[in-house]
Structure 1
Amino acid sequence: MNTIQFKLKTPALAVLLALAGCAAGPDFKQPDAPQVQGYAGQPLPEKTSSAATLGGDAQQFVAGMDIPAQWWTLFNSPALNAVIEEAIKASPDLQSAQAALRAAQELVSAQQGAFLPSVNAGLAPTRQKQPVSAGQGTSPFNLHTAQISVSYTFDAFGGNRRQVEGLQAQAEQQRFLLEAAYLTLASNVVEAAVQEAGLRAQIAATQEVLKVQGQLLELLQRQYALGDVAQADVLTQQAALAQTKASLPPLQKSLAQQRSRLTALAGRFPSEELEQTFDLAGLELPQKLPVSLPSSLVRQRPDVRSAEAQLHAASAAVGVATANMLPQVTLSANIGSAAAEMGNLFTSGTGLWGLVGGLAQPLFAGGALLHKKRASEALLEQAAAQYKSTVILAFQNVADSLRALQYDADALRAQDAAERAAARSLEISRKSVQLGEAGPQTLLAAQGTYQQAVISLAQAQAARFVDTAALFQALGGAGGIAARLWLRPSGRRICIGSCRHGSLVRKHS
């Protein structure tokens, strides 16, 4: 009976309690996955073609296959694993992203504090003198006041809840940016290592061509001494040899730059070069490649999840702008003591207290609140469009990587056949010139074809490794990396899904 009487006497409080479960603005709903069945108009083959050369194994596309957390270990290279491990530990980019995530989470906790009353304690000793006209005498007197003040703003329309929700979404976005930084770092290390290996293969191929060209030059010089060929043929071979030598420094420069890139990715200075070196023979081409379902891709790609979190934050901002146009209800109270002497504080008769309630409804602000709300709605539309664009780009990346792997295998097979044919042609031409059955021009043409075929083969071999790593990156890596990000460096769990005082529409799996 007492409770009913209290509600009847305080109808405003009853209304506030009824509104406590409401929040202004739209409730965020996770976007649906695109209703598509694959990544291209034509279905992929079950596996790629193969070639009897280094990196020529057939690769099988396995739909729905789980991606290993440390997918780079599929290349079966201890040196690569060591460099990536060092890079993850020492990368300043990752350290920056980790700090940004911690800062975003602290802002969430700071905003959650608004769900609780603020309490302040104060002590104000004063000495005053009243004028004679006040009729209080002219003698100075002391007044010591000690009090505790409590103030609380009711979140009647969910403005603070929406602010917390928006900050949680921003923290969530930072987590996915951190995950993207991990994925990008690992992919860049793999790419740089493969590029280094490919350059070493091209340098070795060029050196082999130089060796062959040197042998052919000696052959032509002997035949010139016998009068079987003209001096012009010898000079042409010398020019070809010099031209091949000139192609070697650019390759060596690119190799040095790749070494510097790898060193920087590992968090080292250029003078602290890595001990590990890479060649194609030290890498193993993964033969089973995961192809995530389209519905799973949007849950794996950190850039898509980051765009989704940005969309969530924009949705919450609409709620904040809407709540700012509605009444604000505050309650404040203070209790304390005032006395002329410090020692008399808190004695009988010195107590004081006050209780104040406030209701403020914005009436006119020059249209600022309305336009801010409209701006937040426009930003929500922008975030939705950006999310859709990110999803389309993600699907394009996967489609491009899958097609690249298919055509890389075909290209390697063709380049392997071309290199073998060019090698046989060069050997036949060499013997024909040696026996006087063909002229030097035939030999020059054959060695030019062989040189191009050998270098193109090395490039085709490296391309398969690079595009394999690109596929793992396009698929978003794996959730294993994300799982590690749930822990702060101190070992405490980061609350991003559903935290105290505030709630998101969904929780992370």
Structure 2
Amino acid sequence: MAQENMATWQWPGTRRCGRKALHLLGTGLLMALAGCAVGPHGQVPKMVSPATYNAHRVDASPGAQKIQWTAQQAQSWWLLFHSQALNSYIHKAMRANPDLQAAQAALARQQSLLVASQGGLYPQVSANAGISRERALRTGADGGQSYRIPGNLYSLFLGTLDIRYNPDVFGRQQDLIHAARARVAVTTANLHQSEVFLAAAVSRAIISAAAARAQWHSARQIAAADAHLLKLLQQEYQLGYQNLQSVEQQAAMTAAARARIAPLEAEQAAARHALAALIGQSPNTSLPLPTLKDLQLPAHLPTTIPSALAENRPDIQAATAEIKVAAAQADVATANLYPQFNISADIGKAAMTGALFFNPVSTLWSLGAGLAAPIYQGGSLHAQRRAALDQYQLVRDQYRATVLDAFRQVADALRNLQSADTAFVQQKRAQQASAKALQLAEARYRDGATDYATVLNAEIAYQQDSIAAINGRSQRYLDSVALFVALGDGWQSDHRDSKALSTSSTTAVEHTVGASA
């Protein structure tokens, strides 16, 4: 079985040994200058940013939103919805959300670990003091037989000041500091990502609740209209003007319409419960929610250009910092292959009486230097270095995947905005057409040209088209939020809510959503 050996040299503390320690330290510095194997440099892989997110142009509808291209991110994009309630809930979530607070605590921990790692560059000083009461044993001889007899009692006063210093000849401690600093950057980016997801989650909860409420209102109107039509058909059946099949079909439609109400109520409650959890409250908290009419669809969408996406998106920033962490860890594994130096010094007092403790003759001191060099460890150190280099390559590949996925998500979000806008335009037209059909049916009914069942059928069609329009409208809101999330917008640089929306300092170029983005 391979044994792990460590060659160690130590010198006692004398003036001559102090010169040897300095000579040894100079030798170590020469070894460092002679060169050693170095690790990776933590360079981010070069990736070509696409000129546009989408490959093909899609014609926009007349009511399309506008994209405002910018090189900066929108730190408070939710202000574009012009909803005081939405702004208030996001503000509360940023201050009370437990997951975000956990991310902030994780950042504080990494910052403390960074300070702790920096302490390794400096000498370590400690003091020791003590007092003890002892009895010495004396050895005697009688006829060739040795024996011990109790000695006198005495007190011993001790006080020392210890100094330890490890010169960072091969940069191991500096590499540990670089790794700690990069971990701070990773945790900071993760905190920003948490802020992005939190703002989006609050927005989705409010939009979903508003959409469910509007759908619930329309579903109740449809159920009431179906019930009214069922009552008329039952009356006509009793008079002999309708058959039983028509009555039963309408009864089934009425039951189905009523069945759609309860799930929408549960959907509103679920969105309210989700919002309560996001702002750090229990689900029984009463939360007034805005309606869809209280939310304004952003007319202009600040959208980061592809070349600036990596600078703003938190997960790409975290992937970049992970490369630096892996590079520093590989450097540490490389430095572990080389000797470690240490310098120590002790000065103190040792006396049997308090008065003698302060006498110069009771002074004791020592000065020493040493090194510990790995000679044979079964190849474990080299294997650890290879593993660190493999980890470095792994995070570089993960960085490339993260960037490509970011471009894909933005492209998908832009395309979804285009399709949602087109769908909403058609749904709105269908709602307007069914509204005109209802007006005509009501006019014909007043003129006696048709029966009331035709009016109710037209009203049901209008309500159904209204629900589709509600879905299309809320989907446009959700797709707008999805675009901001894909861009990585919404994190606060100072961990406080911004007062204004960040926009590009340069003149922005506006394009329709259907433009080649």
User: How high is the TM-score relative to the length of structure 1?
Assistant: 0.84
Is 1:259 equivalent to 2:278 in the alignment?
Answer: no
Q: What is the rounded CA distance, in whole Å, between the counterparts of 2:95 and 2:128 in structure 1?
A: 48
Is 1:366 equivalent to 2:372 in the alignment?
Answer: no
Which stretch of structure 1 is more off in the superposition, 140-149 or 401-410?
A: 140-149
Is 1:233 equivalent to 2:240 in the alignment?
Answer: no
Q: Is the 8 A contact 2:74 2:302 kept in 1?
A: no
Structure 2 stretches lacking a partner, 5+ long: 1-17, 498-517
Describe the shift of the 1:320–1:460 C-alpha distance in structure 2 as closer, same or farther (beyond 3 A). same
Overall identity of the aligned pairs, in %: 32
Is 1:25 equivalent to 2:23 in the alignment?
Answer: no
Which stretch of structure 1 is more off in the superposition, 33-42 or 143-152?
A: 33-42
Post-superposition CA distance 1:382-401 (Å, at most 9, x none):
21122222222211111111
Q: Is the 8 A contact 2:21 2:369 kept in 1?
A: no
Post-superposition CA distance 1:187-207 (Å, at most 9, x none):
100011001111111112212
Which stretch of structure 1 is more off in the superposition, 468-477 or 12-21?
A: 12-21
Matches within 5 A, 1:74-473: 74-126=80-132, 127-132=134-139, 139-140=151-152, 141-217=154-230, 219-221=232-234, 223-224=236-237, 227-274=240-287, 276-425=288-437, 449-473=461-485
Q: What is the rounded CA distance, in whole Å, between the counterparts of 2:396 and 2:260 in structure 1?
A: 50
Q: Is the 8 A contact 1:20 1:155 kept in 2?
A: no
Shift of 1:87: 1.2
Describe the shift of the 1:436–1:223 C-alpha distance in structure 2 as closer, same or farther (beyond 3 A). farther
Look up the equivalent residue of 2:54 and give its one-letter code.
A
Is 1:38 equivalent to 2:38 in the alignment?
Answer: no
Structure 1 stretches lacking a partner, 5+ long: 1-5, 51-56, 487-509
Shift of 1:156: 0.5
Q: Is the 8 A contact 1:64 1:292 kept in 2?
A: yes
Describe the shift of the 1:7–1:131 C-alpha distance in structure 2 as closer, same or farther (beyond 3 A). closer
Post-superposition CA distance 1:45-99 (Å, at most 9, x none):
6xx424xxxxxx5301122264432110110000111111111111111111111
Q: What is the rounded CA distance, in whole Å, between the counterparts of 2:346 and 2:75 in structure 1?
A: 57
Q: What is the rounded CA distance, in whole Å, between the counterparts of 1:90 and 1:22 in structure 2?
A: 53
Q: Is the 8 A contact 1:401 1:471 kept in 2?
A: yes
Shift of 1:144: 2.6
Shift of 1:360: 1.6
Greater share of strand residues, 1 or 2? Answer: 2
DSSP 3-state at the match of 2:376: coil
Describe the shift of the 1:325–1:237 C-alpha distance in structure 2 as closer, same or farther (beyond 3 A). same
Post-superposition CA distance 1:327-369 (Å, at most 9, x none):
1111101111222213211313222211111022100112221
The partner residue of 2:493 within 456, 471, 482 is 482
Look up the equivalent residue of 1:254 and give its one-letter code.
E
Shift of 1:438: 7.8
Post-superposition CA distance 1:149-198 (Å, at most 9, x none):
11111110110111111111111111111111111111100011001111
Look up the equivalent residue of 1:484 and give its one-letter code.
H
Matches within 5 A, 1:68-79: 68-79=74-85
- Which structure has more RCO (C-alpha within 8 Å, separation ≥ 6)? 2
Look up the equivalent residue of 1:392 and give its one-letter code.
L
User: How high is the TM-score relative to the length of structure 2?
Assistant: 0.82
Which stretch of structure 1 is more off in the superposition, 438-447 or 60-69?
A: 438-447
Task: Tell me the number of residue pairs that the alignment of Structure 1 and Structure 2 aligns.
Answer: 471
